[in-house]
Amino acid sequence: MDGRVGLRASRRAAPTPRVAVRSSPRQRARVREQEPVVSAMSGSGLGKENKAGSSTPLRHRPNAFSELDNATPRVMLRKIIQNQPQVSPLALQTVQLEETEDARPEPPSQRTSSTVELQLPDLVPEDASVTTFRMTRKRKKLSISEFERAADKRLPQNQAHSTLDSTLVRSLRMSVGSVMAPDTVEKRGLLRRPQNHKAIDIAAFEGGVEQNMLQIKAQDYLVDLQTSSMTGTTTIRTDAEVVLNNTELFVEPQLGEQNLLAVEPQLSDSKTSAQRSNTSYPAHEKARLEGLVSRVSTDERRTLRFSEKDLITDHEHVDGITQKTPAKEGEDEQDHSQQNDPMEQFSESEEMAGTTEHHADAEYSEHSEKKLSRKAVSQLTAAQDAGVEMEMTPSEGGVAEGTEHQDSPKAELQMAGSPGGHSPASYSLKKSGAKPLKEAVEQTGEIERGTITGVLDAAEEEATDDESDIEDHESEEISMKTPMFVHAAAYRPHPVLSPPHPVKSASPELPPQPVRAKPVPKSSGAAQRKTREPEIASSLIKQIFSHYVKTPVTRDAYKIVEKCSERYFKQISSDLEAYSQHAGRKTVEMADVELLMRRQGLVTDKMPLHVLVERHLPLEYRKLLIPIAVSGNKVIPCK
């Protein structure tokens, strides 16, 4: 009790009767008197004081009580602010452990002359008082008057000993500083953790980030569009762009890298070739640029194709395309004389290795567009035509070169340079505007149509085009390399090009399509499924990663995350194999995986596996992994 009083007194800013009481022998009596009253008074006093809003010292003492009574955040906050050292929480704990009644008689018996000793028991009695107070809340209301009376009594008495009490209070505070500190922390913890400025920064940072997310996304999207539609030479520099432009569903990043490598040299080559063509065809500069753009798009497509492994599909197409390819190539050359220049150059660079592939490439280019969805089918077919197996990357390069070769023999035939230029121009414009995939599909459709019925048409077109394209011989030779799709696109948008075959654009679409469509999808679908490697869905990776990172992520970064995931699975599969082998087993068990996680530092002595399971896995899987004991001596899942 003495301690309690003393504590309360110490809390009070001004010397109080209670503080004085402590130091005087009268304390005992007073304390005793106060004890029964204090508990009630403290609560009531606190309530009263709190309500009054006054920061009187009295409130300090009944902090615990007031907290109990008025555990509103506002009140508690106020108390905290006003009463820095808070003994009550700690006192409460001690009290809870003890019997309230026991606590009360104890302090009086323990009373000693030393203030320190008093202080300690003060805690106890305070707790007791607190608990008693809790148990008897009603007392608070009843004993207010008593409290006041006692307070009045004590005030004059304590004032005399104010100075002494203050020292006592100070000593008390120091002695119980450690005690207080935790209280403070606890109390603060209840109400509010110390402001973590870093957290605030991050919070503000993230808030701003979120606000900018849309902008960034829009920008990215715009940038992507721009990059794809812009002068293509620089657009597809990065893997990301190449892959980004790849609208295919399943694009293997590795291929993308290859494509990138292929693309870059191609681009450089195309530039040079474009320059060459430029010199010869200043009129075609525009076309060239367009061709570049188209090239870019074709590059993109190529990357798409690269990603696809459709050798099988290519075979099928090769047969059908063989006929067309020669004619097509001629057409393509004509149509894409200008475009071809950059494309060819581009393709040339790609195709260093496959000479035979050139032909295939021409076909491939034709078909590649069609097959954007089919992915590399055209490449394969083109290669097949050439009689050489085409690899993904070389195929594209080969295509360009193939067209080149084909073009050279057909240089004479040169298709309409101007119309070809126009078509490529329009085509390129069209391409830049539209999605590569879409265009490619269109183109492939065009090509397909052309392949069957277009052979003649192509020839006709070539004838017509040749005249106009005589000028473009040179460019055409280079442009021959332009992907077939360019050619296909060329004639599609320009029925004018083939006036003798107005129906070509219309009718050929239907008849050839069904014929071609059937074999193509089949093979591509089957081939894709077979050749497709198992990967974690990129959408899932994006979802998980963005959920964990909580800030916007560029698309390129996602690609990198996917690559890391693949490498991670490779690593752990070998690790798991080592662990199970070490245990003499051929099957990986749960213990092996747990050991793996332990070695990764995810499972520690402080962090058991089950906790991680609970935190990160969905509920239905938790049930499978964590055995739950249910009544009837059962454990789920049964062991």
Partner 1 sequence: GYRRTVPRGTLRKIIKKHKPHLRLAANTDLLVHLSFLLFLHRLAEEARTNAFENKSKIIKPEHTIAAAKVILKKSRG
- Contacts (CB under 8 A) with partner 1, residues 484-543: 533-537, 540-541, 543
User: What are residue 630's phi and psi, to 5 degrees?
Assistant: -120, 175
* Angle between helical axes of 337-350 and 484-491 (0-180°, round to 10): 160
Q: Is 630 helix (H, G, I), strand (E, B) or coil?
A: strand
Looking at the Cβ atoms of 114 and 571, the one nearer to partner 1 is: 571
Report 35-54 residues binding partner 1 (CB under 8 A): none
569 scored as a contact of partner 1 (CB under 8 A): yes
Q: Which residues contact 93 (CB under 8 A, 6 or more apart)?
A: 127
Cβ nearer to partner 1, comparing 364 with 558? 558
Alpha-carbon distances of 92 from 46, 369, 416, rounded to whole Å: 16, 78, 97
Cα–Cα separations (whole angstroms), residue 8 to 18, 29, 166, 182: 7, 17, 11, 18
* Segment near partner 1 (CB under 8 A); pick from 113-121, 334-342, 453-461, 550-558: 550-558
Residues 93-132 touching partner 1, rule: CB under 8 A, are none
Least separation in angstroms between residue 263's CB and partner 1 is 18
Of these, 249, 463, 560, 583, which contacts partner 1 (CB under 8 A)?
560
In the complex, minimum distance from the CB of residue 508 to partner 1, in angstroms, rounded to a whole number: 42
**What does the block give as tokens for 461?**
């077109």
β-pairing verdict for 628-630 and 634-636: antiparallel
* Residue from the set 135, 517, 611, 624 that interacts with partner 1 by CB under 8 A: 624
Site for partner 1 in 191-230 (CB under 8 A): 202, 205, 208-209, 212, 216
Is 412 a residue that touches partner 1 (CB under 8 A)?
Answer: no
**Nearest residue (CB) to partner 1, 192 versus 599:** 599
Q: Which of residues 145 and 211 has its CB atom nearest to partner 1 in the complex?
A: 211
DSSP 69: H
For residue 570, give the 3-state DSSP assignment: helix
Q: How far is the CB of 628 from partner 1 (least distance, A)?
A: 14
Residue type, 157: Q
Taking CB under 8 A as the criterion, the residue among 65, 306, 491, 579 binding partner 1 is 579
What residues contact 297, with CB distance under 8 A and at least 6 apart?
Answer: 228, 232, 245, 428, 431, 432, 436, 439, 440
Question: Smallest distance from the beta carbon of 238 to partner 1, in angstroms?
Answer: 9
Q: 250-257: long-range contacts at Cβ-Cβ below 8 A with a sequence spacing of 24 or more?
A: 250/307, 250/308, 250/528, 250/532, 250/535, 251/303, 251/304, 251/307, 252/307, 252/533, 253/559, 253/562, 253/563, 255/303, 255/306, 255/307, 255/392, 255/393, 256/303, 256/306, 256/307, 256/559
231 sits near partner 1 (criterion: CB under 8 A)? no
Contact with partner 1 (CB under 8 A) among 577, 604, 627, 636? 577
The CB-of-234 to partner 1 minimum distance in angstroms stands at 18
CB of 537 to partner 1, least distance (A): 6
**Sole binder of partner 1 in the list 64, 76, 488, 596 (CB under 8 A):** 596
d(CA 410, CA 477): 8
Task: For residue 575, state whether it binds partner 1 (rule: CB under 8 A).
Answer: yes
Residues 547, 606, 634, 639: which binds partner 1 (CB under 8 A)? 547
- For residues 522 and 616, which CB has a smaller minimum distance to partner 1 in the complex? 616
Cα–Cα distance between 609 and 591 in angstroms, integer?
A: 11
CB of 198 to partner 1, least distance (A): 10
Letters for 348-387 (x = contact with partner 1 by CB under 8 A, - = none) are: ----------------------------------------
x/- map, 150-189, partner 1, by CB under 8 A: ----------------------------------------
Which residues make beta-bridge pairs with 628?
636
Comparing CB distances to partner 1, the nearer of 178 and 221 is 221
Rounded to a whole number of angstroms, the minimum distance from the CB of residue 570 to partner 1 is 5
Count of residues in contact with partner 1, rule CB under 8 A:
72
545 is a contact residue toward partner 1 (CB under 8 A): yes
Do residues 310 and 374 make contact, with C-beta atoms less than 8 angstroms apart?
A: yes
- Whole-angstrom distance, CA of residue 21 vs CA of residue 151: 11
Q: Which is nearer to partner 1, 390 or 527 (CB)?
A: 527
| Nearest residue (CB) to partner 1, 514 versus 534 | 534
Decide if residue 635 touches partner 1 (CB under 8 A): no
What DSSP designation does 413 have?
G
The dihedral through the CA atoms of 243, 247, 252, 256 has a sign that is negative
Give the binding range for partner 1 (CB under 8 A) out of 86-94, 436-444, 449-457, 576-584. Answer: 576-584
8 Å CB contact between 299 and 346: yes
Using rule CB under 8 A, residue 574 touches partner 1: yes
Out of 188, 283, 552, 583, name the contact with partner 1 by CB under 8 A. 552
**Residue 194 zone, left/alpha/beta (φ > 0; ψ -120 to 50; rest):** beta
- Estimate the crossing angle of helix 392-410 against helix 377-386, to 10 degrees: 50
- Nearest-angstrom CA–CA distance, 485 and 330: 13
Residues 237-256 that bind partner 1 (CB under 8 A): 240
x/- string (CB under 8 A) for partner 1, residues 74-93? --------------------
Which residues touch 569 (CB under 8 Å, ≥6 apart)? 536
Could you tell me which stretch among 41-49, 255-263, 511-519, 593-601 binds partner 1 (CB under 8 A)? 593-601
Reading the block at residue 343, the tokens are 């494309």
Closest CB to partner 1 among 222 and 517? 222
Of 254, 621, 627, 628, the one binding partner 1 by CB under 8 A: 621
Taking the complex as a whole, how short is the minimal distance between the CB of residue 447 and partner 1, in angstroms?
35
CA distance 326 to 328: 5
